[in-house]
Structure 1
């Protein structure tokens, strides 16, 4: 068994840029070199993956790379429960077949880190089950960048992903997590589909206590980056920032 596993390739977890920037501003040279040497990739969407990969010093032409998209059936409902990888073993093992044949592979998200708020976590879970070595590479995470810049509690925090879109479920979720933040001194971190950013911001303004602090972190790592932390009362006076259709992370601490 040990000899068989040692013949497997590795699965590199590749952070991608967070927007319209350069790869040199996003990834250290060591990460670029490991990615550039790979021939096989599992990606969320092929078009942005190719746009990202063609900026790297590839060891072979982009057209010769083997790029597999994650099937839509593996994408978890972002407002529901994540899928269990064990229900899709056959499909996931097929995606990972090059690694089992001894080739290094890259797992690439559209933006940020694969496996974090990303269906690539299913691929990683199956790789562990198969005994394929998993190696996370250094690069940007919008969630951690926002938490770093928030000035809230970085010792205790929870990433909650998306809140429900419909009322009264949205109100209950926001108020429940604000209460947790207060009771446990735990920063609550959220993301949203960019065109629903303003609706989520309005939900915080409407349902949270005036002395709770809210961070809005938009276009992280880009020239248009915007990061501000204020109390809810202050945000009510300032009004919503320009966050419509711009990737944004929200952090809340009561």
Structure 2
């Protein structure tokens, strides 16, 4: 195995590893002792899920989240510089996509270190695939503003882009606010605009449905506390 920074995708929920990750990923993981992780506890759980025989106490974890200082991040790649492979693990899905892992990847690239992204589930890509919307041009915006008037304004701006740029627009919400988000989309968007709701992707109870705003009215699912991604298009 090459000395590199491996970007290790994680399951999006309680899905069985073999359903969404190639066996090659396990081979790579078993050869790594240093992991840069968004959350240490969930990373440990994931590694045990990959192989229950992994000795977690032999591994070193470097937390990478919004509280990690740039100085700390810069020092995390020392084992890689010394000839040891390292892995990056997100809380869910693919590291460095809508994820703080991008910061350490940028440093590795600047230092001409080898970066190897491995195959695994991405809710962004899977939701675009399942929506029937434009997969040639799309934009992911993360979280929209919480303040009601700012949020409505933002939804209208994104809707305008689907008509002027022919671009699919994606965004997410904290799971307990999903139902409010859906109501706001129905209020802000034109009746003919289409919305795809993609929830529990790759997990039990997966829900991916596309309808016009007019068709969704009075028929919204209850998605409180369920991981979800919203897409709008014309």
TM-score by length of 2: 0.95
Partner of 1:241: 221
* Equivalent of residue 172 in structure 1, options 139, 149, 153: 153
- Structure 1 runs (4+) deviating above 3 angstroms are 57-60
Could you say if the C-alpha distance between residues 63 and 116 of structure 1 is closer, same or farther in structure 2, counting changes exceeding 3 Å?
A: same
* Equivalent of residue 111 in structure 1, options 77, 85, 92: 92
Partner of 1:19: 13
Task: Give the secondary structure class of the aligned counterpart of 1:112.
Answer: coil
Distance 1:166 1:205 in 2: 17
Q: Structure 2, unaligned stretches of length 5 or more?
A: none
* Equivalent of residue 45 in structure 2, options 44, 51, 76: 51
For residues 8-157 of structure 1, the aligned pairs below 5 Å read: 9-57=3-51, 60-74=54-68, 88=70, 90-157=71-138
- Cα root mean square deviation, aligned: 1.6
TM-score by length of 1: 0.88
- 1:191 matched to 2:172? The reply is yes
Distance 2:229 2:51 in 1: 31
Q: Deviation at 1:25?
A: 1.3
Distance 1:24 1:140 in 2: 12
State the Cα deviation string for residues 129-169 of structure 1 (Å, max 9, x = none). 12211110000000111000001111111111111110211
Task: Give the secondary structure class of the aligned counterpart of 1:229.
Answer: strand
Q: Is the 8 A contact 1:197 1:244 kept in 2?
A: yes
Task: Number of aligned residue pairs: give it.
Answer: 233
Q: Is the 8 A contact 2:139 2:167 kept in 1?
A: yes
Q: Is the 8 A contact 2:10 2:91 kept in 1?
A: yes
Q: Structure 1, unaligned stretches of length 5 or more?
A: 1-7, 75-86
Distance 2:75 2:186 in 1: 46
Partner of 1:80: none
Q: Deviation at 1:196?
A: 1.6
Task: Give the secondary structure class of the aligned counterpart of 1:51.
Answer: helix
Q: Is the 8 A contact 1:37 1:58 kept in 2?
A: no
Q: Deviation at 1:59?
A: 7.9
Q: Deviation at 1:242?
A: 2.1
Distance 2:54 2:229 in 1: 36
Q: Is the 8 A contact 1:9 1:101 kept in 2?
A: no
